[in-house]
């Protein structure tokens, strides 16, 4: 974070703290205490900057002070610097940014590599591939950079050119140069929809932005028109949420106009709102199934929870994340911003699905999830029991399955990713994904590609036994019999 002048640092901190605190303060005593605390903060900052033995990085001190203050509240309240503000607003509202259109990730051994160029993006059209290691951007050597540094320099104004040099693995001419014209990258909210056997429509929704409702509408109408679907699956797994307004619009597709979806309550009267559907629905009769998991949060839980409370859909999967807090973005001096939690939302049955009460912590300052024993019973429109706290509990629970630790490590260390890139380099023509078959010979080749000398995998039992052996030695329990047992 860079403030325009170091002389405004303390003022900016006061501007962040003072208005909301004074507005929320009730009575002269509270206001006096607040004024005293702000005076102390100002004095500490001034004396530190004046007297500390070494020069003080004022911007860093400011960032530390603000972050510490906000981190004590909840994970969702955050300071957004002027440099980050435009990208934040674009991504959170429209899902749009200026860049080359590719996911990037850290590479084994250091550096950043291309992970997934978006279809039709400048990166894909230029010829960048997964596995390409980015070694230079314009005139800057990027081999020691992290993903944020690389991302910041790949992004930029649309219609500007960025010079990118990569090293491509598994090919002879490995150093390749690209001049890529940036453009506005629109991240789709609905990356996939289709008709399954039995007249079942399927729509995957990955986030809630300004365009999400239009994308879902287009997908739904297309499936009804072209495929004559008889039922619908709306997949919200892994969808961390987004705009509340988008969630209301999507819920509106399946319930009548003027149906209450949520109401919000906060400390300020202005945060007490009722959100109802405002448009004619698309289909209030089509059987609807909503898929959720632990990654379904916020706006996803508004859609899933409201449809459950209204007995409009069957929710299937595993318990959702449990985020029932609403954030508001406010402007701060010098083009900075604050995203702050201002309200809690309640779905139609009246329940709050927030899993963690950040205002109440244990003696050590740790946060706790609401235990099931302390949740309250509410009822859906047709009288079914549902509970608050801890997210949305599905009507039908499905164990999505967990990969073994061995499998997790193989993917976490990018062995599968590296093998796929090697296979692509050796096979210029590959059939479509839905037609591709992993044969026994391909799988055997994949297993051979994993180098035991570079693959770190400790079995859980072996790790636990080693820790137990060390504890026995430290605490004096290691004797001939215990040593024999360990051996």
Catalytically active residues are: 298, 309, 323
Partners of 140 in beta bridges: 137
Q: Residues 478, 481, 485, CA angle at the centre, nearest 5°?
A: 90
Residue with tokens 């770190």: 456
Pairing of strands 140-141, 161-167: unpaired
CB contact burial 316-332 (16+ within 10 A = b; e otherwise):
bbbbbbbbbbbbeeeeb
CB atoms within 10 A of CB 102: 24
Partners of 79 in beta bridges: 338
Note whether 233 and 201 are within 8 A (CB).
Answer: yes
- Measure the CA–CA gap between 298 and 323, rounded to whole angstroms: 5
User: 231: Cβ–Cβ under 8 A, 6 or more apart, which residues?
Assistant: 199, 200, 201, 286, 287, 288, 289
- Measure the CA–CA gap between 455 and 448, rounded to whole angstroms: 12
Pairing of strands 337-346, 325-331: antiparallel
Q: How far is CA 471 from CA 460, 463, 475, 487, in A?
A: 17, 12, 6, 15
Partners of 242 in beta bridges: 208
Note whether 153 and 140 are within 8 A (CB).
Answer: yes
Q: Distance between terminal CA atoms of the chain?
A: 55
- Measure the CA–CA gap between 262 and 323, rounded to whole angstroms: 14
- Measure the CA–CA gap between 325 and 345, rounded to whole angstroms: 6
Indicate the angle between helix axes 58-71 and 28-51, nearest 10 degrees.
Answer: 150
Tokens standing for residue 413: 């260390």
Show contacts of 210-213: CB within 8 Å, 24+ apart.
210/93, 210/94, 210/95, 210/243, 210/246, 211/94, 211/95, 211/186, 212/242, 212/243, 212/246, 212/249, 212/250, 213/246, 213/249, 213/250, 213/253
- Measure the CA–CA gap between 320 and 116, rounded to whole angstroms: 27
């Amino acid at each position: 974070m860079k403030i325009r002048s170091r002389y405004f640092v303390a003022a900016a901190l006061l501007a962040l703290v003072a208005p909301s605190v004074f507005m929320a303060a009730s009575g002269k005593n509270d206001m006096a205490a607040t004024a005293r605390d702000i005076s102390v903060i100002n004095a500490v900052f001034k004396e530190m900057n004046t007297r500390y033995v070494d020069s003080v990085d004022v911007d860093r001190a400011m960032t530390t002070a603000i972050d510490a203050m906000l981190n004590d509240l909840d994970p969702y309240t955050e300071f957004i610097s002027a440099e980050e503000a435009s990208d934040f607003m674009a991504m959170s509202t429209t899902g749009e940014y200026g860049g080359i259109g590719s996911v990037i990730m850290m590479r084994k051994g250091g550096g950043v590599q291309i992970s997934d160029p978006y279809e039709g993006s400048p990166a894909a059209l230029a010829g960048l591939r997964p596995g390409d290691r980015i070694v230079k951007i314009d005139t800057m050597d990027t081999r020691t950079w992290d993903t944020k540094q690389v991302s910041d320099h790949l992004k930029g104004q649309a219609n500007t050119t960025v010079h990118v040099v990569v090293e491509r693995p598994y090919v002879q001419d490995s150093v390749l140069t690209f001049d890529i014209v940036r453009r506005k990258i629109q991240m789709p909210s609905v990356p996939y929809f289709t008709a399954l056997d039995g007249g079942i429509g399927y729509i995957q929704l990955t986030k809630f932005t300004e365009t999400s409702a239009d994308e879902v509408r287009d997908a739904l109408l297309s499936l009804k028109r072209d495929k004559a679907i008889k039922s619908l699956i709306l997949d919200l797994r892994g969808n961390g949420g987004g705009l509340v307004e988008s969630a209301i619009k999507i819920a509106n597709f399946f319930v009548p106009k003027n149906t209450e979806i949520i109401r919000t309550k906060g400390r300020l009267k202005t945060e007490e709102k009722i959100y109802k559907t405002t448009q004619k629905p698309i289909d209030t009769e089509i059987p609807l199934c909503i898929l959720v998991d632990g990654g379904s949060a916020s706006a996803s839980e508004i859609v899933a929870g409201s449809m459950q409370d209204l007995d409009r859909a069957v929710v299937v999967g595993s318990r959702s994340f449990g985020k029932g807090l609403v954030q508001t973005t406010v402007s701060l001096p010098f083009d900075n911003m604050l995203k702050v939690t201002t309200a809690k939302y309640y779905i139609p049955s009246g329940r709050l699905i927030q899993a963690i009460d950040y205002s109440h912590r244990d003696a050590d300052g740790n946060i706790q999830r609401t235990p099931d024993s302390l949740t309250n019973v509410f009822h859906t429109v047709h009288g079914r029991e549902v509970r608050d706290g801890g997210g949305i509990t599905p009507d039908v629970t499905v164990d999505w399955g967990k990969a073994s630790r061995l499998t997790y490590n193989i993917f976490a260390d990018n062995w599968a990713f590296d093998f796929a890139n090697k296979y692509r380099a050796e096979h210029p023509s590959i059939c479509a994904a839905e037609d591709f078959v992993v044969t026994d010979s391909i799988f055997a080749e994949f297993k051979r590609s994993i180098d035991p000398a570079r693959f770190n995998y400790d079995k859980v039992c072996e790790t636990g036994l080693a820790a137990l052996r060390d504890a026995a030695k430290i605490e004096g329990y290691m004797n001939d019999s215990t040593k024999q047992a360990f051996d």
